[in-house]
Chains A and B, each alone.
Chain A
Amino acid sequence: MSRILEKPRTVVSPEHCKGCGLCVMACPKDCLMQLATFNSKGYHPSSYKGEGCTGCGMCFYSCPEPAAITVYKKGAEYPDD
């Protein structure tokens, strides 16, 4: 199932994140944060705060891990779980 997004959003895959925090620094809207919880590798993964994403992609390009961040812009098809 999927739906067309009306608002952009960024999705951090917690298991792909190494917790470097570069995306948090890169986000011009300050809509990412590092979680206090650990992922299985012992990192504090980043996470979308749930509000404020403009789909600019800065977090995506700032992230060194290929699959840690996916950015869905307005109008993108978003896979619902």
Chain B
Amino acid sequence: MAKLILQKPKGFYDSFYRKPGDKENTHYCPGCGHGIIHKLIAEAIEDFGIGDRTIMVSPVGCSVFVYYYFNTGNIQVAHGRAPAVATGIKRANPNSIVISYQGDGDLAAIGGNNILQAANRGEHITVFFVNNAIYGMTGGQLAPTTLPGMKTSTTPYGRDIQNEGPPMKVVELLSSLDGPTYLERTAVMSNASIAKTRKAIRKALQCQIDGLGFSMVEMLSACNSGWKVDPKEQYKWMEEMMLPTFPLGVVKDVREEREGWFRETRTMTDEAIKQELDLTMPEPTIFPSELKKGSYHNPSIKLAGFGGQGILSAGAMLANAGMEQALETSWIPSYGPEMRGGTAYCFVNLSNKPIGSPTVTNPDVLMAFNRPSLEKFEAEVKPGGLLMYDSTIIDIEPTRKDIEVLPVPATQIAEDLGNTRMANTVMVGAYIAQTGIMAPAAIDQTLPLALKRKTMVDANKKALAAGVDYVMSR
């Protein structure tokens, strides 16, 4: 039923209590288009009954104080960022109706990418874009939508399209994207155009209410102060100056083709969350080591070789297993400039006290999987330390006499087992046998975590055992 009384809509606060001074009137200049647009929006909010769940986003510009007026949730945001903020709000609460109210400087200049991307994502928000071809609040400067030849405080000789380019046509620009659902340009300048704007605002909001996606209405609006024209002349000015550049009408409307949808919110049990986060490690079993051939306490281990030799995963095998044996462990891959060149390496620490530096200049143990690694890192091994190397593919011998040297034909052993890529696991087996730091079962237990291909677990268990056997039978 048509209303019998047209009065200040309930979408406005009864009293603009946040506004300093006068709580009854807006802060806008006489004749300003913002006030008319505010009224149309406030009326729609009332008529649609969405005030309680609407969040108005106040931009930077003359409409920075939108939150003085609308009887909704309110947020004030940085210049141009309203569509990004609106995205965060809407995603947080899919039931909310989020309105981004923006001027031309805010939306088309500093926030150009934000509006473009929000539109392209088809964000379920509604944007009311007030185009008055000028910056009002900051003192009448050039906007992206300023008209050719138009004088502003930063184009005192008129907008020169060879200098500033031509005016930006925002709805046309956005209409080239598949994302938006509803785009229309209207004007606030005559009874008929105001009626059309009123309708467009309602369509745009309904679009969001129905879950149909991104909607925006660009509204040509008067800024008689900025233009320096009398309010009584402002609509004539718009007709002559703005309409030739900014044609009115629906630019895109695919509401009929789209199906409404709403993001779902989900609650999960603790167990389900842990499951989904892969936090389902079983309590570990501790396997006492019985090998005890050597003794290297709290070793810092450097593993080095070509990329692709499984250097990093061999390190992970040791560290993973060490953790389950109640040791402090750390694993760190070679980092930064040292990643360049032929060798990849990682550091593993296994310790019964807190680990300080995860890397050291002089490791206790070096496992060299190729000749460059041996050549490069032999000198680093701490005196009294252990150097292991793959003697199948390294055709030189270490020269250090102050360290223990253990050649392991790891690639040969792995080939005998059917896959040379398991040389890394053979070496790990040899290492735990030589040092007695862990039982083979400890490594077996965590192999599935260290290996990318889970089908290789059993084969690697054999490779591990073969490495152990090689050392124990030496």
Enumerate chain A interface residues (CB-CB to B < 8 A).
15-16, 18-22, 25-26, 28, 43, 57-58, 60-77
Residues of A within 8 A of B34 (CB): 64
B4 touches A77 (CB 8 A): yes
A19 touches B30 (CB 8 A): yes
B195 within 8 A of A: yes
CA distance A20 to B3 in the complex (A): 26
B26 touches A64 (CB 8 A): yes
Helix, strand, loop or mixed for chain A's interface?
Answer: loop
Contact of B42 among A20, A22, A43, A66 (CB under 8 A): A66
Which of the 9-residue segments B6-14, B143-151, B438-446 touches chain A? B6-14
Residues of A within 8 A of B33 (CB): 64
Closest A residue, CB atoms, query B34: A64
B69 touches A61 (CB 8 A): no
Smallest CB separation, A54 vs chain B (Å) = 13
A26 touches B12 (CB 8 A): no
Residues of B within 8 A of A16 (CB): 24-25
CA distance A26 to B189 in the complex (A): 10
Closest 6 CB pairs of A and B: A64-B35, A20-B31, A18-B30, A76-B4, A20-B30, A71-B6
For chain B, which range describes its interface: under 10, 10 to 19, 20 to 34, or 35 or more residues? 20 to 34
CA distance A68 to B6 in the complex (A): 11
B191 touches A26 (CB 8 A): yes
A64 touches B32 (CB 8 A): yes
Contact of A65 among B5, B35, B231 (CB under 8 A): B35
Closest A residue, CB atoms, query B37: A64
CA distance A63 to B194 in the complex (A): 11
B194 touches A64 (CB 8 A): no
Given contacts A64-B36, A76-B4, A76-B5, 13 further A-B contacts (CB under 8 A): A18-B29, A20-B30, A20-B31, A21-B232, A26-B191, A64-B31, A66-B12, A67-B24, A71-B7, A72-B5, A73-B3, A73-B6, A74-B4
Contact of B35 among A28, A63, A71 (CB under 8 A): A63
Smallest CB separation, A19 vs chain B (Å) = 6
Residues of B within 8 A of A18 (CB): 25, 29-31
Smallest CB separation, A75 vs chain B (Å) = 6
Q: For residues 252 through 300 of chain B, which have their beta carbon under 8 Å from a beta carbon of chain A?
A: none
